[in-house]
Amino acid sequence: MHTILIVEDDVKIASMLKEHIEKYEYRAHIAEQFDDIKKEFIKCRPHLVLLDINLPRFDGFYWCRQIRTISLCPIIFISARSHEMNQIMAIENGGDDYITKPFHFDLVMAKIKSLLRRTYGPYAVPTEPHVYEVSGLYLLYDRHAVQWKEKTVELTKKEFTLLERLAKKSGKIVSREELLESLWDDAEFVDDNTLSVNITRVRKKLQQIGIEQAIETVRGVGYKLVETWRDL
């Protein structure tokens, strides 16, 4: 079952959209954290987004760009702005379609169905990346990359696996044995120094996006990811 994220601050319109969408046996989730739609997106992991332009704090164009840094999920703008320049801006900022208010619910559903079919149908190429987030640090699985504050750096497969293991146990010690086993099939025959070298490389990659001293060495035990970037 596909999930639709509704980013609309008009409670009445959002509720009507949700009710209508669910009649067609889709899941519908109404966004609540308008100060961080990107985090809401990651939490919801939708297959499609309905996005208004006039939103609290930042507009829909901004949030569309934010979503595009981590996902190719289809985005349909829904707005009372009818001028063609707004439609052009919607496309240029990463949107896939544009619907002008007031709208007919059948038109909304037709566009939703069309985009879902093209994106996730039997002949579609899978493009939706898997994203994991820790206090604003994003691990992008499809690219083997890590992103923080709009800065992105790519990692090797082993570097990414290391960071993923540490991120999923953020604040806790991950033993050297566990990290070795996650990287090599036969950890018994891997030089212990090899792990240290890979940890150093991950640290340098994090430094490239402005994060310092995030991986702490716990001597004789393993390593720990410390969220030093949280308050920066």
CB 75 within 8 A of CB 99: no
What separation in angstroms does the CA of 26 have from each of 5, 45, 142? Answer: 11, 14, 26
**Burial class of residue 185 (count of CB atoms within 10 Å of its CB; 0-12, 13-18, 19+):** exposed
Tokens of 226: 């410390």
Q: For the whole model, what pTM was predicted?
A: 0.73
Average pLDDT in the 123-136 region? 73
Write the CA distances from 81 to 48, 84, 104, integer angstroms: 21, 8, 16
Tell me what the pLDDT averaged over the chain comes to: 90
Locate 168 and state its tokens: 């999923």
Residues 19-44 have pLDDT tens digits of 999 999 999 999 998 999 998 998 88
For the chain, percent of residues with pLDDT exceeding 90: 66
Q: What is the pLDDT of residues 49-77, one digit of tens each?
A: 999 999 998 999 999 999 998 888 999 99
Q: List the domains of the chain with CATH numbers.
A: 3-120 (3.40.50.2300), 131-225 (1.10.10.10)
